[in-house]
Amino acid sequence: MRINILIAGKAGQGIKKTADVLSKAFVSEGLYVFNHRSYQSLISGGSNFNVLCVSDKKVNSFDRCYDVAILLDEKSFKVHKKDFSKNCIKLHSFDKDIKGIKLDTEEFKKVENIYFLGALFRILSLESKGLIDEIKSMWKGSKLLEIDLRAVEEGYSKDYGSISDKFDFLKKGKKEKNIYYMTGSDAVGIGAIESGLDIYFAYPMTPSTALLTFLAQNKEKYGYLTYQPESEVAVANASLGSSFSGAKTMIGSAGGGFDLMTETLSMQGMTELPLVAYLAMRGGPSSGAATYTSQQDLKMALGCGHGDFPRVVIAPGDLKECYEKTKEAFYLAEKYGLLNIIVSDKHLAENSYTNHIKNYDLFVKKDRKVPGKNFVKKNSYSHDEKGNYTEDPDIIERVANKRKEKFRKAKKEIESKFKTHEVFGKKTGKKLVIGFGSTKGPILDAINSKKGGKSDYKYIHIIYLEPFSKKLINEIEKADEVFVVENNISGQLADLIQEKTDKKIDENHRILKYNSRPFTPKEIIKRLKNK
Amino acid sequence: MSNNKSVDLSTKNEITWCPGCPNFLLKQAVQKAIEEIVEDGMNELDRKDFVSVVGIGCAPKIYDYLDIPGINGLHGRVLPTCLGVTTGNPNLKVIGFAGDGGTYNEGMGHLIHACRDNADMNMVVHDNQIFALTVGQATSTTEKGVKEKSTPEGVKEKPINPLVIALEAGATFVARLNIFDSESTKKIMKKAITHKGFSFIEALQPCLVFNDHSDDIKKNAYEIKKPKNLKEAIKKAKEWNYGYNKKIPFGIFYQNEIETFEEKRDLLKKFTDKGSGFYSRNRKRKVLGDF
C-alpha cells in the first residue's frame, strides 16, 4: 500500500522545503518515502511540485495518482487536476469552491504550507511530534519558526474528519538499521569522500550541480578540496593536472558542459591519469529541458572523446548503487589509470528517497609516480613508456596495446569482483525487461506489483555498460523476448544490446519515453501489456 | 645552501625546431635559470620539483628538451592544467610554456582567470605573432595588415595587448623577454620562478620562417626600469602595440606579492608549510553513518 501526496505551487513558496520536512517526518516514523521533485528553470513563479510516495514497504518510485494534494496556488489545481485520485483530499486557500480542506484564516496565509502539514497529519490520525521536531530542525534559528509552530498546531487541532482507515499502513512504520534518506547526488558524494577524494572540480550545470553543492558543503569537515574554475574546459584540464601531481580527482557536469570536457577526456585516454567523471543527464539535445530528466547521453558516455581509448561506464540505479559504484569507479581509476564515467540523471540525482545502504569496504591506496619524487612525464601526443614524444610506428602500436591490455585486466577484475548487473523478477522468465540507471525504481515497482503480472517478467538492471560482462550477455541471450525500457527517443541501450549480443530489438520492443519526464510504474505496466 | 654540483637539464631527444630558431635561445636561458636555482640550492629545490606544462605548437616542444617532469597537454589549456598541478602539490614549481595562438586565441579566458586566481605558477608565452606549426596563419597578436595564408587580404584587426590585459586582470608578476639578450632573459626567469604568485612572461620569439622580426627586435628593444606602480606599468605596456619600427620595452613591468590561491586555502597552505601534497595522503574515510 502506498499514499501519493502532491505539494504544488509557485517557485519561492517553499515547496521543496515543505516536501523535505514532510518526508523526514515520515522517515522518522520508520516509513519509506520517495520524494519526487519537479521544477522549472526559474527562481520564482512558474509551476513546481513534489510528489511524496510513502509506504511501510520499500518504495522506489512515485505515481501520478494523488491521494492528497496540497495546492499552494490555483494554477496547480488546473495543472494537476487530471492526476487526482477519485477521493483525492485537496488542501488549499485560494478562492474557489472545491471539495477539501480550505484554510480560511488570514493569520497563517504566509505559512499555509506548514498549516496544511498539521492538518494532513490530523486527517491521517498520525502523532504530530515527529513532524514538529522536523519543523524545528528545518527552521532552527529562523524568524519563521515561531509562526510555523503555531501554524502546524492550529492545523493539527482542527477537526477535518479522517481518512486514516484507508492509509492505516502509515502507522506500521518500523525503525530499521541502515536506512538512509538522501538524493543520488548525496550518495555519489559519500562514495567519493570514502574513496579518499582529494579534489572535486566542477562548473555548475543542472542536474550535476547538486553534487558540487554537496561536496563543497562537506569539504571542511572531511578535509578535501572543491573548486569551480572558469569553465568546464578548465575543469577537465585542471583535473588531469592535479591527477598528475598526485590527487585523487573527480569532475562532474551535464549535457553541454560534459561535451566541453570531452577533448580532455581523450587526453585522459592517452596519458592514463586516474580520473572519475560524473555525468548527470537532463532533457536534450542542446540546452534541452534543463531541470527535467532523460537518458539521452548514454552513447556520449560510451563514445565521447576523439580517438579510440578504453573507459569504464557505470550507471547506478539507486542510492545504494550510487554509493557503492562511485567507490568502484575510484578503485578502478586508481588501479588501472582508467577513465571512469558515472552516469546519473536528474531523476536519480535530485530526488530524495529511502534506501538500505550498508558500509561498503573498498579502497585502494595511491601508487603513482609523481613530480617532486620522480621524473614523470605525461604526454597527450603519442609517446614512449617514459612519456617522450614519438612518431615511431612500433612504439605507437606497443603503447596502444599496453592500454588495451590494461582494460582487459580491469574487465576481468570487474566481472569477478563487482556486481555488473542485477536480475529481478521471475528468474526463469522468458520475457525479459532490461533497463539501466534511474529506470530501476519504476521498473522494479512495476514488475513487483500485482498489476504488473508479478510472475511473468524477468528484469535485468544493467550497471556496467562498459565493459559489458560475459555473464550479462549470456543472461540476455537466454531470453525469448526482450523489452528495453529507457528515457530517450532512439533506444540507445537497445542499440548497445544489439551490438553486444545476438538479440535484435525492433521498434515494438523498445519502450521509450522522451518527454523529459521519468517513467512511473503504472506507465511501464500499461506499455508492457500493450506490446 | 649550495649543492656545489653542476646541473644539466639537457635531454637526448632530437630537437625539431628549425635551425637557428629563437626558441633555442629561449630554451637555453630558461634551462640556465632552472639549473642555477637548483645549483644554488635555492629553497632546496631539486630538478624533480619543476614541472613543465605545455600545449600544442612549436613552443611546447620544450617539454621534450628539458629534463624535468612535465605534462604535455592540449592546445590553449596550459593554464588550467598548471592550476591543477599546483593544486595537487603546491610545492612544485610549475612553468607553463605555450605560444600566442594557444594562450591568446584558444585560451584567452584562462589567462584572465589565472591572473585573478594568482596561483603560484608561471606562464611563458612564446610570442612569434603567428601560428607557426600550422605553417603560418594570423594570431591575435599578428600585426595589422600582415598577409598570411588564411588572411590573404591582410589582417584587418589590430593586435591585442596581452601585457595590458594581464595587468588589468590582476597578474602579480608581468614581464616581457627580449630573448636575444640571454643574460636578462635568465635573470627575469629566475625572478619569475621565485615570485610568490602568478608570473606572466611574454617572450618575443620571432619565427624565422613565417614572421621574422628578429632585426626589428634586436634594433628596437630596450630594457626598462621597473615602473613604480600598476598605473605606470600599464602606461609602459601600452607603449608598444605589436607593430614594428617602434621602440619595444622589455623587462619586469610589475611585481607585487599578495596572498596566493594556495595561501587562501587552508589545506593547500598546510601542504606548503609541510612540504607535502595530496600525493602523500591516502584518506580512507568512513562517513556514511554521518548522513
Per-residue pLDDT at B2: 55
Residues A477-510 pLDDT 10s: 999 999 999 999 999 999 999 999 999 999 999 9
Task: Mark yes or no for CB contact A237/B84 under 8 Å.
Answer: yes
Distances (CA, A) of A202 to A136, A277, A329: 33, 10, 17
Average pLDDT of the residues of chain B: 95
Between B78 and A1, the more confident residue is B78
Taking residues B40-53, what's their average pLDDT? 94
Asked if B238 contacts B209 with a C-beta cutoff of 8 angstroms, the reply is: no
Interface confidence, given as ipTM, is 0.96
Per-residue pLDDT at A453: 60
Name all contacts of A159-162 with Cβ < 8 Å and 24+ positions apart. A159/A122, A160/A101, A160/A119, A160/A122, A160/A123, A161/A123, A162/A122, A162/A123, A162/A124, A162/A125
**Res. A151: pLDDT tops 90:** yes
Task: Mark yes or no for CB contact A190/B288 under 8 Å.
Answer: yes
**Res. A170: pLDDT tops 90:** yes
Going by pLDDT thresholds of 50, 70 and 90, the confidence category of residue B149 is confident
This prediction's pTM: 0.96
> What domains appear along chain B, each with residue ranges and CATH number?
23-290 (3.40.50.970)
Closest CB to B287: pick one of A190, A199, A363. A190
Going by pLDDT thresholds of 50, 70 and 90, the confidence category of residue B191 is very high
Going by pLDDT thresholds of 50, 70 and 90, the confidence category of residue B148 is confident
Closest CB to A363: pick one of B92, B281, B284. B284
Per-residue pLDDT at A37: 96
Element (H, E) at B33: helix B23-39
- Residue A247 DSSP label: -
Sign of the CA dihedral running A73, A74, A75, A81: positive
Task: Mark yes or no for CB contact A198/B284 under 8 Å.
Answer: no
**Res. A446: pLDDT tops 70:** yes
**Would you state the cell numbers that stand for residue B92, as one nine-digit string?**
612544485
Per-residue pLDDT at A450: 73
Partners of B95 on chain A (C-beta within 8 Å) are none
DSSP string over B115-136: HHH--S-EEEEEE-SSBTTTT-
Per-residue pLDDT at A452: 59
Closest CB to B91: pick one of A234, A363, A372. A372
Per-residue pLDDT at A225: 98
Length of chain A, in residues: 531
Average pLDDT of the residues of chain A: 95
Paired with A201 in beta bridges are: A227, A251
Residues A102-112 pLDDT 10s: 987 889 999 99
> What domains appear along chain A, each with residue ranges and CATH number?
3-169 (3.40.920.10), 181-417 (3.40.50.970), 421-529 (3.40.50.920)
Element (H, E) at B51: strand B50-54
Find the closest chain B residue to A357 by CA distance: B288
Per-residue pLDDT at A454: 60
What whole-number percentage of chain A has pLDDT above 70? 99
Residues A118-127 pLDDT 10s: 999 999 999 9
Mutate to test the interface with B, among A27, A377, A381, A395 (most CBs of B within 10 A): A377
Per-residue pLDDT at A45: 80
**Res. A455: pLDDT tops 70:** no
**Res. A404: pLDDT tops 60:** yes
Residues A342-392 pLDDT 10s: 999 999 999 999 999 999 999 999 999 999 999 999 999 999 999 999 999
Provide the shortest C-alpha distance from residue A387 to chain B (in Å).
Answer: 9
Length of chain B, in residues: 291
Taking residues B117-121, what's their average pLDDT? 98
Going by pLDDT thresholds of 50, 70 and 90, the confidence category of residue A41 is confident
Task: Mark yes or no for CB contact B267/A227 under 8 Å.
Answer: no
Element (H, E) at A325: helix A319-336
**Res. A197: pLDDT tops 90:** yes
Per-residue pLDDT at A95: 78
Q: How far apart are CA A259 and CA A467, in angstroms?
A: 22
Task: Mark yes or no for CB contact B81/A359 under 8 Å.
Answer: no
Closest CB to B288: pick one of A194, A365, A383. A194
Specify the amino acid at residue A518.
P
**Res. A51: pLDDT tops 60:** yes
Partners of A372 on chain B (C-beta within 8 Å) are 48-49, 69, 89, 91-92, 277, 279
Closest CB to B71: pick one of A224, A248, A378. A378
**Res. B61: pLDDT tops 60:** yes
Per-residue pLDDT at B244: 87
Find the closest chain A residue to B71 by CA distance: A378
Provide the shortest C-alpha distance from residue A152 to chain B (in Å).
Answer: 27
Per-residue pLDDT at A175: 87
Taking residues B137-156, what's their average pLDDT? 92
Taking residues A442-461, what's their average pLDDT? 84
Between B43 and B249, the more confident residue is B249
In terms of Cβ atoms closer than 10 Å to its own Cβ (0-12, 13-18, 19+), residue A307 is exposed
Partners of B278 on chain A (C-beta within 8 Å) are 198-199, 242, 245-248
Going by pLDDT thresholds of 50, 70 and 90, the confidence category of residue A43 is confident
Taking residues A206-225, what's their average pLDDT? 98
CB atoms within 10 A of CB A523: 18
Partners of A388 on chain B (C-beta within 8 Å) are 11, 13, 64
DSSP string over A94-115: SSS--SEEE---STTGGGHHHH
